[in-house]
Amino acid sequence: MKKIKTLQCIRCGKDHKLLEAKYNCSSCGGNLQVLYDYNLIKKRLNYEVLKDNPERSIWRYIDILPISNLKNVPPVQVGWTPLYRAEKLGAECGVPNLYIKDDGRNPSASFKDRASAVVIARAMELKEKVITTASTGNAAASLACLTGSLVMKTVIFVPETAPAPKVAQLLVFGATVIMVKGTYDDAFDLCLKASAEYGWYNRSTGINPFTREGKKTCAFEICEQMNWETPDKVFVPVGDGNIISGIWKGFVEFHRLGIIERLPQLVAVQAEGSDSIKRAFESGMDVQPVSGKTIADSISVSLPRDGMAAVMAIKDSGGFAVSVSDAEILDAIPRIARGSNVFAEPAAAATYAGLRKAVSEGKVKENESVVLLVTGNGLKDIQSAMQSVGKPYVINPEMTELRKLLTDNNLV
């Protein structure tokens, strides 16, 4: 593919040719990133071309994606999710210029569809027959969803604790589902061994260099939807660190292509029990494993698989990291819903909890524009959502009972 210059190791800088490198660096095992011939791409992808492009999905950016054509892409709309101005929510937290990027509107109801779509298209070009992934749940649900009608077989490794709605998605879309008695990290290691033994194509985060390519499209969309302006800050929920490093790559590439003039600061939001990237960023040390314990299953990670790239993204953007408790995450679910009409799963709601904390610490100024990345829909984890709200009233179908209930509870 002429547009791709190299797959470069983010740790040691070693260059790899596209067809020589399937996963990690051949020298040091570090994660690879795709670098393009940006001068070539500039001729095809610029403000004028984008402005007139009617395509409303991630494929409007095919010129800067690692696939040759649209013959092999899943036949459902991935990306071009809405960016809402969240006035009421913004007023509540003292940031009037607040936006929500609702990525729960993707086909499998999470941000992960962006990555899966690109990896699947790539796997189809390579004529792979079986694709596999380890996942906390969403990456798997998205892989199962987007391969649903394709000839490719899908084998999924998730921790036994994955929320039931995500597991339902896996089974409904026809994947082979292997629940691992252990953590996401255990599922990850088993998936890696299985893909090596059986030759399955591995989509797992940190292994596959193309997930970041799909994820960067969200940054492109934010720029376009904000009328080619860059927000001051983007709050990103962080587990493995692949979303935040992908988002950063997107902004950097648009900047490099001359499509935007300045870069935003990225704020990594982690759960207190799963804050390995925050610790590494603040201490300047390598990413170390933590317990990974949090109610926000999607960001429950002991050893982040793209931690180094995530720390670099926070640092290079001049941003910072914030951690929030499970109670703060749960509290944020109904707040976002009532303040912006968007139902977020716990990991996604963590962004708002993180924003509130950052505002209280004086790290966000009132006049700044802020985007919260809502990466997964709330229906993905009903159990947690129900913990964040009260119980409904239950009565017999009688007007007398209804009148009494309404009066007793001051509801009329």
What's the token pair of residue 317? 């953007």
Spell out a b/e string for 202-224, using b for 16 or more CB atoms within 10 Å of the CB, else e: bbbbbbbbbbbbbbbbbbbbbbb
Nearest distance from C-beta of residue 121 to ligand PLP, angstroms: 19
Nearest distance from C-beta of residue 80 to Zn ion, angstroms: 35
Nearest distance from C-beta of residue 15 to ligand PLP, angstroms: 25
- Give the integer Cα–Cα distance in Å for 46 and 50: 6
- Give the integer Cα–Cα distance in Å for 293 and 283: 21
Q: Does 12 bind Zn ion (CB under 5 A)?
A: yes
Which residue from 138, 147, 154, 169 is in contact with ligand PLP, where contact means CB under 6 A? 138
Q: Does 159 bind ligand PLP (CB under 6 A)?
A: no
With respect to ligand PLP, which residue has the nearer C-beta, 45 or 266? 266
**Segment contacting ligand PLP (CB under 6 A): 167-175, 241-249, 278-286, 327-335?**
241-249
Instruction: Identify what 28 binds: Zn ion, ligand PLP, none; CB under 5 to 8 Å per kind.
Output: Zn ion
**Segment contacting ligand PLP (CB under 6 A): 42-50, 67-75, 107-115, 401-409?**
107-115
273 strand-pairing partners: none
Q: Does 217 bind ligand PLP (CB under 6 A)?
A: no
- Give the integer Cα–Cα distance in Å for 99 and 109: 19
Q: Does 264 bind ligand PLP (CB under 6 A)?
A: no
Which residue from 106, 108, 136, 276 is in contact with ligand PLP, where contact means CB under 6 A? 136
Nearest distance from C-beta of residue 247 to ligand PLP, angstroms: 10
305, 206 Cβ separation under 8 angstroms: yes
Nearest distance from C-beta of residue 161 to ligand PLP, angstroms: 14
Binding characters for ligand PLP, 8-27, by CB under 6 A (x = yes): --------------------
**Unique residue bearing structure tokens 């995450």:** 329
- Give the integer Cα–Cα distance in Å for 15 and 33: 10
Closest listed residue to residue 195, CA positions, set 159, 228, 157, 233: 157
How many residues lie near ligand PLP (CB under 6 A)? 21
276-280: long-range contacts at Cβ-Cβ below 8 A with a sequence spacing of 24 or more? 276/301, 276/302, 276/303, 276/304, 276/307, 277/238, 277/241, 277/304, 277/307, 277/310, 277/311, 277/314, 277/321, 278/321, 278/322, 278/323, 280/307, 280/311
Which residue from 14, 22, 85, 363 is in contact with Zn ion, where contact means CB under 5 A? 14
Q: Does 26 bind Zn ion (CB under 5 A)?
A: no
Using CB under 5 A as the criterion, which residues of the chain lie in contact with Zn ion when the complex forms?
9, 11-12, 14, 25, 27-28, 30
